[in-house]
Amino acid sequence: MKEQAAIQASMADIQQKRGILITGLLVAMLFGALDGTIVGTALPRIVGELGGLSMMAWLTTAYMLTSTTIVPIAGKLADLFGRKSIYVTGLAIFIIGSALCGMADTMTQLIIFRAIQGIGGGIMMPMAMIVIGDLFTGAERAKWQGVFGGVFGLASILGPQVGGWIVDSLNWRWVFYINLPVGILAIVLISLGLHNHRTAERVKLDLAGMFTMVVAVVSLLLALTFGGDKYDWLSWQIISLLASSVVFFSLFVFVERKAEEPIMPIHLLKNKTFVVLNSVGFFMSVGMFGAIMFVPLFMQGIIGMSPSESGTMMFPMMFALIIASMIGGRLVQKIGVRPQVIGGMVLVALGFFLLSTMDVHTNKWTAMSFMATLGFGLGFVNPVITLALQEVFPKSQLGIVTSSSQFFRQIGGTFGATLLGAIMNHRSKDLLEAKFLPLLQQLPEQAHAMMDSFKQLVESNPQSVYSVILNPETLKKIPEQMQQMFVPVLKQTLVDALSDVFLYGLIFVGIGFIFAMFIGRITISNRTNKMNEME
């Protein structure tokens, strides 16, 4: 009787700690996801106070560089040192970085502190999914990952509104300070609910692997960020960055073959399931970020919505993504991974095709239905990729395979934003030269200065020409007769360019669909990956 009572007490303690831990995971994910969208809303006010408009892009770039680079390293360290140590460390770094950002007096300081904050964010991002992989069976994970995907989607919707309220009611510094109490709460809950577990007493860090991977990834991300924007793609700066990335990726592979505890075991790259699932995630992200970037441009330029109104157009996609994540978590147990991923990719492809059919007569409700279609597809695919990787690989590799899923999708998103942005610029230039510049030849002689200005813009920065239809204040400065002459042509040019961009996004989704066809038979079981002592 005493033994039975002791077992029951132990089980009750485990269940209580599990509840505390899940609450902590949800809090950590919510405030980590909110940060990106809240900060974006505050950027104009930050630049207004600190100055440094030319450096504004670095506030996002610095965070992106450090957070993306640290993800696979965090996953490996979690396998070596235990989830609790790494998770709490990531939260602490994020909190410290947030506090420093709030105290920044110059733009340079803020950029450095955002990079520190990014290190913490990059550690936090994969940890929730890793811990879920430890705690639950495959069937339970399918349900919970849908819930966590919903929380992430909710943060994307709420972020701009919360950020706007903070900036208007308090001060932009509170965009960062608000992370402190929420982050501390997450640390307390996770510390109480999560026991630490180390895979070995003696750990040898792969410092050479870390260094070569960091240099390779940072070089690649910088090249993708600045190529075609600050520097020409064939400039020595971009070529040097790409060459550096190739060299250090090669060194990384060489180092990993000899390392005792490699950051990215090379044998994973020979595993069909690992390569196929991460390839699906990569190509899906290439297309997804294209939609997120360019749909607001269509809403503002063609439909005539304000920037804040066009931001709400993400709501149908995110809401559909949340619903599909929750439904998909249950559906995948019945139909398996491969059919669900294939079905989801078909919906994503359909969403992109529908977006490519939008024209100057498309209304916002039609566009919202297209975005919802895309969201449903993403919701069926996104959580299942991580879930399948956790199902296939052993507990000892759970951290690295989970973080790899996040890493490849982030790289795919950066690659997609760069490539589709370049396509948008190229198509805009060709279309403007064919349809818009001939109109300028019809202007009277006194308007030649404006004609020359437009010609320079078409040559150097084609997308900036659309500011005529994107900015009502700019449009008011143009005589009514010229508006009637220019606006229809600019709108049609913008529609044609965006249609091509969405079709290119569809091509990448199609490549992801082909990879999905090669997913093996993976069923979600009741096998648990749970670490000892409630890890």
CATH number of residue 124's parent domain:
1.20.1250.20
Q: What percent of the chain has pLDDT over 70?
A: 76
pLDDT at residue 458, rounded to an integer: 67
- Domain contains 398: no
Q: Which residue has the higher pLDDT, 76 or 312?
A: 76
Q: What angle do CA 238, 240, 242 make, to 5 degrees?
A: 70
User: How far apart, in whole angstroms, are the C-alpha atoms of residue 253 and residue 533?
Assistant: 35
Model confidence pLDDT, tens digit, residues 82-108: 888 888 999 999 999 999 998 988 888
Last residue of a domain, one of 147, 164, 196: 196
Query: What pLDDT, on the 0 to 100 scale, is given for residue 153?
Result: 66
Written as six digits, the tokens of 115 are: 């990079």
Phi, psi of 528 (to 5 degrees): -105, 145
CA angle in degrees (0–180, nearest 5) for 245-500-323 = 85
Q: State the DSSP H helix or E strand holding residue 71, giving kind and residue range, or none if neither.
A: helix 57-81
Residue type, 113: F
What phi-psi label fits residue 259: left (phi over 0), alpha (psi between -120 and 50 degrees) or beta? beta
Encode pLDDT of 210-242 as tens digits: 888 888 888 888 888 787 777 887 888 889 999
Assess whether 495 and 434 both reside in one domain: yes
Q: Which of 178, 196, 214 is the last residue of a domain?
A: 196
Helix H or strand E segment including 357: none
Q: What is the mean pLDDT of the chain?
A: 79
Separation CA 6–CA 3 (nearest Å): 5
Q: What DSSP assignment string belongs to 103-151? A: H--SHHHHHHHHHHHHHHHHHHHHHHHHHHHHHSBHHHHHHHHHHHHHH
118/45 same-domain check: yes
Give the pLDDT score at 221. 83
User: Which tokens go with 140?
Assistant: 């339970």
Cα atoms found within 13 Å of the Cα of residue 265, Cβ hemisphere only: 17
Residues 50 and 7 placed together within one structural domain of the fold: yes
- Tell me if 166 is assigned to some domain: yes
Its domain, for residue 218, covers 205-260
Residue 419 resides in a domain: no
In a domain, 138, yes or no: yes
Tell me: pLDDT of 512 over 70. yes
Name the β-bridge partners of 231: 227
Q: How confident is the model at residue 291 (pLDDT cuts 50, 70, 90)?
A: low
State how many domains the chain has: 3
Domain stop point among 218, 245, 260: 260
In a shared domain, residues 6 and 99 = yes
Task: Say what the pLDDT of residue 5 is.
Answer: 46
Q: What is the mean pLDDT of residues 60-85?
A: 84
Task: For residues 244 and 123, state if they share a domain.
Answer: no
- CA proximity to 199, closest of 437, 458, 535: 535
- Torsion angles phi and psi, residue 465, rounded to 5: -65, -30
Helix (H, G, I), strand (E, B) or coil at 231: strand
Span 131-146, pLDDT tens digits: 887 777 666 776 676 6
Shortest CA distance to 454 belongs to which of 422, 480, 481, 428? 428
Question: Does 375 map to a domain?
Answer: no
Residue 209 sits in the same domain as residue 191: no
Angle between helices 364-392 and 398-431 (to 10 degrees): 150
The reply to whether 49 and 17 lie within a common domain is yes
pTM here is 0.79
Residues 94 and 14 in one domain: yes
Task: Tell me, yes or no, whether 235 lies in a domain.
Answer: yes
Closest listed residue to residue 321, CA positions, set 179, 101, 473, 155: 155
In this structure, the answer to whether residues 81 and 34 fall within a common structural domain is yes
Residue 532 has pLDDT above 60, yes or no: no
Point out which residues pair with 14 in neighbouring strands. none
Q: What is the pLDDT of residue 298?
A: 80
The confidence band for 535, taking pLDDT boundaries of 50, 70 and 90, is very low
As a whole-number percent, the residues of the chain with pLDDT over 90 amount to 11
User: Do 38 and 123 reside in the same domain of the chain?
Assistant: yes
Residue 527 pLDDT level (bands cut at 50, 70, 90): low
* Mean pLDDT value across residues 198-202: 58
CA dihedral for 121, 123, 126, 131, sign (positive or negative): negative
Q: Are residues 26 and 119 in the same domain?
A: yes
- Res 379: pLDDT: 85
Domain assignment of residue 278, yes or no: no
Return the SS3 of 409: helix
User: DSSP code of 171?
Assistant: -
Higher pLDDT, 44 or 194: 194
Q: Does some domain include residue 296?
A: no
Question: Among residues 315, 299, 292, which one has the least CA distance to residue 502?
Answer: 292
Same domain as 71, residue 153: yes
Q: What is the pLDDT of residue 138?
A: 62
